[in-house]
Amino acid sequence: MLLDDETYEEIKGEVAHYLVRCGMSYPLDAGVFARRMDIDFVPYSTLGRDAYIAAMKTSRDGFLCEKNCGPAYIFFNDERMKERQDMSMLHEIGHQVLDHNSTPNKSDEVKESEAKFFAKYAKAPMPLIHLLPMKTVETIQKAFGLSCEAAGYALDNYKKWLEHFDGTYKDYELKILALERSGLEAYIFELNGIKKLQSECDQQLDWNKYRPDLVKEVRGHAVPLQSHNSTFVQRNLYEVRQISEFGGVM
Ligand SMILES: [Zn+2]
């Protein structure tokens, strides 16, 4: 379900606040984040048979268990894909941060949507997606460790964010931009290399000038055959184009 704009802004603020407080870096490691939030983990695979069945009945992904004034536990299904496990952990951190256990006036549906948004935003915040020199499902997936589906949603949300972005960042966005991100920067460096290669190829070949109709037909349909004198740059051209044409914003 959709939440109101004010709630989305509040959640983004909470994400930034807790990321800074826990000294997190990007790409975000959900397990480290949870540990720094003093939340312990219980993988489903360590549970006995009855407890495992009960856990699966509660959720096939994971759930948060809080004791009054005691430590919180995230029970999580460690048979799921890594990307999904990460999102489950962030979702459960979201429930705790947003204090869902002590807000009985909120419906479960609202709580679920809030935790879901918390996880999505924490894993791939818009100001960090904005740093990527090529914004495609594939690059977002690789940069932030998302599933293909989640990266697709992140790209859609990024496009919406970009429509309203006037060049000035909000306070919580500045906090996120100030976080350590050497891992992400390494990938950005790699992408810049690919982008440079692509522009060199375009200058060198400029296919559109000769047969735009043919280029349109060929691109995205077939791998061009390699001629004997094709250079390394030309051989890489197809892959570079695939990346940039995969629903991308440059
Ligand atoms: Zn939930």
Between the CA of 71 and the centroid of ligand 1 the distance, in Å, is 18
Residue 73's DSSP bridge partners are: 40, 65
For residue 11, pLDDT over 70 is answered with: yes
Find out whether 155 and 249 touch, Cβ atoms under 8 Å: yes
Cα–Cα distance, 82 to 30 (Å, whole number): 10
Q: Which helix (H) or strand (E) holds 74?
A: strand 72-76
pLDDT per residue over 223-249, tens digit each? 555 544 455 555 556 555 665 555 555
Q: Please give the single-letter amino acid code of residue 120.
A: K
Rounded distance from Cα 115 to ligand 1 centre (Å): 6
- What value, to the nearest 5°, has the Cα angle with vertex 15 and ends 13 and 17? 65
- Within 8 A by CB and 6+ apart from 49, the residues are none
> Could you tell me the pTM of the whole model?
0.76
What spacing in Å lies between the alpha carbon of 97 and ligand 1's midpoint? 12
Contact call for residues 134 and 244 (beta carbons, < 8 A): yes
Phi, psi of 66 (to 5 degrees): -110, 135
Share of the chain above pLDDT 70, in %: 79
**Mean pLDDT: which of 39-48, 153-162, 187-196 is highest?**
153-162
Distance 220 CA to ligand 1 centre (A): 40
User: How many angstroms is it from 156 CA to the middle of ligand 1?
Assistant: 23
pLDDT in tens, 78-129: 888 889 999 999 999 999 999 888 877 889 999 999 999 999 999 999 999 9
Q: Which residues are in the CB-under-5-Å shell of ion ligand 1? A: 112, 115
CA of 80 to the centre of ligand 1 (A): 16
Distance (Å) from CA 70 to ligand 1 centroid: 20
Distance 136 CA to ligand 1 centre (A): 28
Q: For residues 215 and 124, is the Cβ–Cβ distance under 8 A?
A: no
How many angstroms separate the alpha carbon of residue 203 from the centre of ligand 1? 51
Find tokens 């004034």 and name the residue. 69
Q: In angstroms, what is the span from residue 160 Cα to ligand 1's centroid?
A: 25
For residue 98, the CA-to-ligand 1 centroid distance in Å is: 11
CB 19 within 8 A of CB 122: yes
* Half-sphere exposure at residue 235, Cβ-oriented, CA atoms within 13 angstroms: 7
**Domain range annotation of the chain:** 1-123, 125-250
CA atoms within 13 A on the CB side of 70: 7
159-170: string of b/e by CB count within 10 Å (b at 16+)? Answer: eeeeeeeeeeee
1-123 is classed CATH 2.60.40.1180? no
Alpha helix (H) ranges present in 73-181?
82-97, 108-123, 126-129, 137-144, 148-164, 171-177
